[in-house]
Amino acid sequence: MLKAWGQSPAGHALLGRVLAYYLDFTDTTTRYAREPQGSDALLQANLPCIFAFWHGQNAFLHRFLPRDVPLAVLISRHGDGGIASAMLNYRGIETIRGSGGPPQKARRHGGVAAMRGMMRALAQGTSVAISADVPKVSRHAGLGVITLAQISGRPIVPIALAVRNRINFRSWDRAALALPFGPGAVVVGEPRFIDRRADAASLEASRRDLEHELDRIQARAYGMVRRQDPGADLVIARENGASS
């Protein structure tokens, strides 16, 4: 019964609210540094935009945005997506449910509807946040975020966040639970526009460029808090696989 309750909409709503309260507490007790200087002006000049990050950071997205910037976050329909969606909604952030992947899986997981929802949000002036990873394959950027930028004409803004005090999990995405009373870091990358006329080779080059930029700013964020990125091994494995 307890498991069924935890998978119910009411259970997701309650757990999402509890998580929101906890994250609000950790936010107020964490001292965040930001790079580069003037990143607020950089963001304002490119709104609405597509924020891209490595999986597992959507709970912290509000930390780098002015409070008056409307934001919608892509959240999976499966697993703990209901809890994450409830948590973000409680914080006043819109959510779009669905996930990407190969075309046959994207349709089944609501990817097509999610793409339409993100396009609609951008057209209405709402920025969109999406994890760049291919579902269940952490630190491998997919073409979904590149395609969204190409079709919408809006720039991709890479972002990364790290905190010194945390509990690391050996999950597929190397997720971490932030703990209070310590330093944190937010790093914003340079905006990237995707040419609407780009061919397949150009799109692949843009995908790899985004992948490497996310690696760079993620490593920098963890360096700022004097910790090692728990997903660094995934990057090494990806690059070794690409070179073999």
d(CA 202, CA 19): 41
CA distances from 214 to 70, 117, 230 (A): 23, 24, 14
For residues 212 and 92, give the distance between their C-alpha atoms in angstroms, rounded to a whole number: 31
Residue spans per domain, the chain: 32-162+172-243
Nearest to 16 by CA among 83, 89, 80: 83
Mean pLDDT of 226-238: 92
Q: What is the pLDDT of residues 61-99, one digit of tens each?
A: 666 666 678 999 998 877 678 888 888 888 888 999 887
CB contact set of 88 (below 8 Å; sequence gap of 6+): 16, 58, 59, 73, 75, 94, 95
* pLDDT band, very low/low/confident/very high, at 12 (cuts 50, 70, 90): confident
Q: Return the pLDDT at 134.
A: 80
pTM check: above 0.95? no
Could you tell me where the DSSP H helices lie in the chain? Answer: 2-6, 9-28, 39-45, 81-90, 103-108, 111-123, 144-152, 200-224, 232-243
> Rounded to an integer, what distance in angstroms lies between the CA atom of residue 160 and that of residue 217?
6
- Name residue 185's beta-bridge partners: 33, 162
Specify the amino acid at residue 222.
Y
Q: What is the pLDDT of residues 166-209, one digit of tens each?
A: 988 888 888 888 899 999 999 999 999 999 999 999 999 999 99
> Is the model's pLDDT at 242 over the cut of 80?
no
* pLDDT for res 238: 92
Nearest to 133 by CA among 158, 114, 170, 150: 158
Q: How confident is the model at residue 3 (pLDDT cuts 50, 70, 90)?
A: very low
Instruction: Count other Cβ atoms within 10 Å, centred on residue 149.
Output: 27
Separation between Cα atoms, residue 234 and residue 228, nearest integer Å: 13
Section 127-135 average pLDDT? 90
Quote the pLDDT of residue 2: 38
* Residue 80 confidence (pLDDT): 73
